């Protein structure tokens, strides 16, 4: 990709909002700190009719505010904004996100431009001092901010690493260890996050491993890069691929095990190519996790992460706030399924929904993973695992009941939005 500012591709940053003044200023300030030239990106705020000053805050940061009171949920707001976007790349950021580093956008765009086989760039979710410990546990330790979904998601594998030093050339060497298919023989025995390699857990600035010092990280570094069917720039297993990325952190290449698509991708700092979004008609039927699923099914099996970079995700503050969020998410999920019965949880999840629910309410599994997490990470935030599992099931059940009793309310999802704020 050309280095001159005038030759850098234009980026559209899409932020859906609804009464998010307590958070959106923090989000927009982190965008304003980006090293990417300001004239090469636009900020599109799709606002659902805020009455708390959100729109005025957005305009102060030079954002284009799109009146989106007609939409029924955040995903429709993203679709409306996407239809007006003019960038070659599209970054989806939620109002409760704060980009962790000023170079994140630049690094993500350069990485995606240099890797045409990848469907996008996923953010890490490092913790922040402005989070509660529960929020840090959900976003940083689980990466997927809900125990039910965390259990059902497949375990992605790091299949390649591009070194960040200009003076070195990274070679992704052949590995005898191919990513394995999803194992459904003993779903109840699948070891979730505490038993997985450290890079699986959304580690950001607290990443305790380092390349060349851990068996897990060494293994991930030398995995072959998966080649997307019919794509360009992919590498077949067994081939070496000399590459270099320039100064900065490593670019990690990730993929799901062969035959699996059960992993949610597409929000909270995720970067797509506009051309890929158009290829799956995202401006007509946008759902962030659907877009990534469709791209993977079309052959783009790989995505990227920038080591130690991403967004602070200020998802919730309290346990009750978490239950409310899961209620709203469940209502939104069921409403989307009415119109488009597609979702990643139907794509051969290693742990089925009924078993994930049973795990959460029996307490034995959550207590075991709490102990394992405490021993491995020396992080007291794992003590939230048991109450979070209970809150996840409670919120989901409450959401199902709410949907069945109030499904005719067109603004139901918007009306269920809980108050969010920083710590």
Give 111-127 pLDDT, tens digit per residue: 999 999 999 999 999 99
Indicate the DSSP class of residue 192: -
Pairing of strands 41-47, 64-67: parallel
Q: Report yes or no: 172 and 384 within 8 Å, Cβ to Cβ.
A: no
What's the average model confidence in pLDDT over 63-92?
86
Q: Give yes or no for residue 199 having a pLDDT over 60.
A: no
What's the average model confidence in pLDDT over 188-202?
36
Q: Which of 10-19, 216-225, 342-351, 378-387 has the lowest mean pLDDT?
A: 216-225
Confidence at 171, pLDDT banded by 50, 70, 90: very low
Choice between 28 and 1, residue whose per-residue pLDDT is larger: 28
Instruction: Find the helix packing angle between 364-377 and 353-362, rounded to 10°.
Output: 80
Q: Give yes or no for residue 372 having a pLDDT over 70.
A: yes
Residue 423's pLDDT is: 75
Q: What are the start-end ranges of the E strands in 188-291?
A: 242-243, 251-255, 270-273
The C-alpha atoms of residue 143 and residue 152 are separated, in whole angstroms, by 13
Q: Which of 74-83, 91-100, 314-323, 376-385 has the lowest mean pLDDT?
A: 74-83
Pairing of strands 11-17, 89-92: parallel
Confidence at 72, pLDDT banded by 50, 70, 90: low
Total-model pTM? 0.80
What's the average model confidence in pLDDT over 75-81?
82
Degrees to nearest 5, angle at CA 73 with 388 and 132: 30
Residue ranges of alpha helices (H) inside 162-236 are 215-221
Residue 228's pLDDT is: 32
**Residue recorded with tokens 């990280």:** 217
Residue 342's pLDDT is: 75
Q: Give yes or no for residue 368 having a pLDDT over 90.
A: yes
The C-alpha atoms of residue 2 and residue 23 are separated, in whole angstroms, by 35
Instruction: Find the helix packing angle between 385-406 and 319-339, rounded to 10°.
Output: 40
Residue 1's pLDDT is: 61
Instruction: Find the helix packing angle between 319-339 and 74-84, rounded to 10°.
Output: 60
Q: Which of 132-141, 164-173, 206-215, 289-298 has the lowest mean pLDDT?
A: 206-215
Q: Report yes or no: 115 and 304 within 8 Å, Cβ to Cβ.
A: yes
Residue 360's pLDDT is: 96
Q: How many helices (H) and strands (E) does the chain have?
A: 14, 12
Least Cα distance to 228 among 145, 320, 159, 309 occurs for: 159
Confidence at 420, pLDDT banded by 50, 70, 90: confident
The C-alpha atoms of residue 365 and residue 156 are separated, in whole angstroms, by 22
């Amino acid at each position: 990709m050309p280095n001159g500012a005038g030759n850098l591709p234009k980026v559209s940053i899409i932020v859906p909002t609804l009464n998010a003044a307590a958070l959106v200023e923090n989000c927009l300030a982190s965008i304003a700190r980006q090293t990417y030239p300001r004239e090469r990106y636009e900020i599109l705020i799709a606002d659902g009719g805020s009455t708390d000053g959100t729109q005025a805050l957005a305009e102060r940061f030079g954002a284009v505010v799109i009146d989106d009171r007609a939409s029924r949920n955040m995903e429709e707001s993203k679709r409306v904004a996407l239809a007006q976007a003019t960038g070659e790349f599209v970054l989806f950021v939620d109002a409760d996100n704060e980009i962790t580093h000023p170079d994140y956008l630049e690094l993500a765009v350069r990485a995606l431009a240099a890797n045409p086989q990848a469907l996008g760039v996923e953010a890490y979710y490092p913790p922040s001092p402005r989070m509660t410990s529960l929020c840090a546990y959900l976003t940083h330790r689980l990466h997927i901010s809900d125990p039910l979904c965390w259990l059902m998601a497949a375990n992605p594998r790091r299949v390649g690493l591009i070194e960040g030093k200009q003076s070195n050339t990274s070679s992704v060497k052949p590995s005898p260890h191919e990513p394995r298919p999803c194992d459904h023989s003993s779903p109840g025995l699948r070891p979730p996050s505490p038993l997985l390699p450290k890079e699986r857990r959304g580690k950001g600035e607290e990443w305790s491993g380092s390349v060349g010092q851990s068996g897990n990280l060494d293994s991930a570094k030398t995995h072959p890069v998966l080649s997307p069917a019919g794509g360009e720039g992919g590498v077949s297993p067994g081939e070496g691929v000399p590459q270099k990325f320039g100064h900065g952190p490593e670019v990690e290449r990730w993929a799901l095990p062969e035959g699996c698509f059960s992993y949610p991708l597409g929000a909270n700092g995720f970067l797509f190519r506009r051309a890929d979004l158009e290829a799956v008609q995202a401006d007509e039927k946008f759902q962030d996790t659907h877009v990534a699923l469709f791209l993977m099914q079309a052959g783009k099996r790989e995505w990227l992460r920038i080591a130690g970079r991403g967004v602070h995700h200020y998802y919730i503050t309290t346990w009750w706030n978490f239950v409310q969020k899961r209620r709203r998410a469940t209502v939104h999920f069921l409403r989307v399924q009415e119109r488009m019965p597609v979702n990643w949880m139907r794509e051969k999840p290693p742990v089925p929904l009924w078993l994930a629910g049973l795990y959460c309410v029996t307490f034995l599994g959550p207590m075991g993973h709490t102990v394992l997490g405490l021993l491995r990470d020396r992080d007291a935030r794992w003590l939230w695992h048991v109450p979070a599992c209970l809150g996840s099931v409670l919120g989901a059940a409450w959401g199902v009941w709410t949907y069945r009793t109030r499904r005719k309310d067109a603004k139901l999802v918007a009306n269920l939005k809980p108050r969010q704020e920083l710590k």
